């Protein structure tokens, strides 16, 4: 598992660089809001539960799939090289579809188009594992949303959703994550909501999960009606949040409460 050995060596370096990079930036990632025990859980690649999914993803990367009988590795080779920086620049416009997709969507596009394999189900272990493995290759890199004019409209839509009050509590995302970040909500520290660690091993789920799943949790928590799982609203929010987190370092796959 050379990827994991690379991860182990990089983890120590990464922690140091995270500390350095954040100096002077008022933005804080959810990692910084966690107590020492959870940060330690994330930092150790052999003890971070998310790495179990990464290990499965590494195996999936190498495995042949679909009618084309190809593996990800057959086209992309060494993920540490070909996937470096990829997770940091999603959501992006998929040229063949001429619309924005998130990383999971891009992985499925590859599967259906190039491997001629069926798309992996949303939130399935298989898709999460591959997504975690790909995201790991961007760990420590700054979030770099593409300057694609096609994304502007999606980001604007996301910003509007972020600011919009909704649900029984009539709260917007901004009410907690902009106005009250750093303060406590029922004993939990409210993070600034920068998606630097996705996909995350959320202790509440006892499993790895996507930003989409986390956003649904937020909306249910606000006592608002969550949109359908494949709704465009989640993508718009993600595009906005990643733009808002531009320059922050990715710490995927993260551990979060």
Partner 1 sequence: MANILVNAPKTAKKGDIIEIKALIMHPMETGFRPGTNGRIIPRNIVEDFSATWNGREIFRMKMSPAIAANPFVSFFTVATGSGTVVLRWSGDGGFVAEHPLAITVT
Partner 2 sequence: MPAPRRRAFLAGAAAVTLLPFAAEAMPEALAAAIREVTGGAEPRAGKVTLDIPPIVENGNTVPTTVSVESPMTAHDYVRAIHVFNEKNPQPHVFNAWLSPDNGRATVGTRIKLADSQKIVAVAETSTGEFWAASAEVIVTIAACIEDVT
Distance CA 87, CA 214 (A): 17
Stretch 171-210: interaction string toward partner 1, x if CB under 8 A: -----------------------------------xx---
Question: CB under 5 to 8 A by kind: which of partner 2, partner 1, none does 204 bind?
Answer: partner 2
Stretch 211-230: interaction string toward partner 2, x if CB under 8 A: --x--xxx-xxx--------
CA dihedral 92, 93, 95, 101 (to 10 degrees): 80
* Choice between 64 and 246, CB closer to partner 1: 64
Site for partner 1 in 71-110 (CB under 8 A): none
| Binding window for partner 2 (CB under 8 A); candidates: 1-9, 81-89, 159-167, 209-217 | 209-217
Based on the shown chain and the rule CB under 8 A, indicate whether residue 187 belongs to the binding site for partner 2: yes
Distance of CA 92 to the CA centre of its chain: 13
The minimum distance between CB 143 and partner 1, in angstroms, equals 27
Cis peptide before 250 (omega within 30 of 0): no
Contact in structure between 209 and 128 (CB atoms under 8 Å):
yes
Residue 16: CB atoms within 10 A of its CB come to 10
What are the DSSP E strand ranges found in the chain? 92-94, 99-101, 184-185, 188-189, 200-202, 207-209, 255-256
Question: CB under 5 to 8 A by kind: which of partner 1, partner 2, none does 98 bind?
Answer: none
Among 190, 227, 232, 233, binds partner 2 (CB under 8 A): 190
Distance CA 10, CA 140 (A): 9
| Binding window for partner 2 (CB under 8 A); candidates: 35-43, 52-60, 70-78, 227-235 | 35-43
């Amino acid at each position: 598992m050379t990827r994991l050995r690379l991860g182990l060596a990089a983890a120590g370096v990464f922690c140091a660089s995270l500390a350095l990079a954040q100096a002077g930036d008022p933005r804080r990632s959810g990692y910084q809001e966690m107590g020492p025990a959870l940060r330690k859980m994330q930092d150790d690649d052999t003890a971070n539960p998310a790495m179990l999914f990464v290990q499965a993803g590494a195996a999936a990367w190498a495995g042949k799939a679909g009618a084309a009988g190809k593996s990800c590795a057959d086209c992309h080779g060494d993920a540490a090289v070909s996937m470096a920086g990829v997770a940091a620049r999603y959501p992006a416009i998929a040229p063949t579809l001429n619309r924005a997709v998130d990383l999971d969507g891009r992985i499925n596009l590859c599967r259906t188009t190039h491997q001629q394999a069926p798309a992996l189900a949303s939130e399935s272990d298989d898709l999460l594992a591959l997504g975690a493995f790909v995201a790991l290759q961007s760990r420590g890199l700054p979030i770099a949303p593409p300057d694609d004019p096609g994304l502007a409209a999606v980001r604007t839509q996301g910003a509007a959703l972020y600011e919009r009050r909704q649900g029984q509590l009539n709260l917007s995302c901004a009410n907690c994550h902009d106005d009250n970040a750093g303060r406590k909500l029922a004993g939990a520290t409210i993070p600034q909501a920068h998606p630097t660690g996705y996909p995350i091993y959320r202790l509440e789920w006892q499993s790895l999960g996507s930003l989409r799943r986390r956003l649904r949790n937020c909306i249910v928590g606000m006592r608002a009606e969550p949109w359908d799982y494949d709704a465009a609203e989640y993508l718009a929010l993600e595009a906005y949040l990643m733009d808002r987190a531009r320059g922050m370092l990715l710490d995927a796959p993260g551990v979060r409460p």
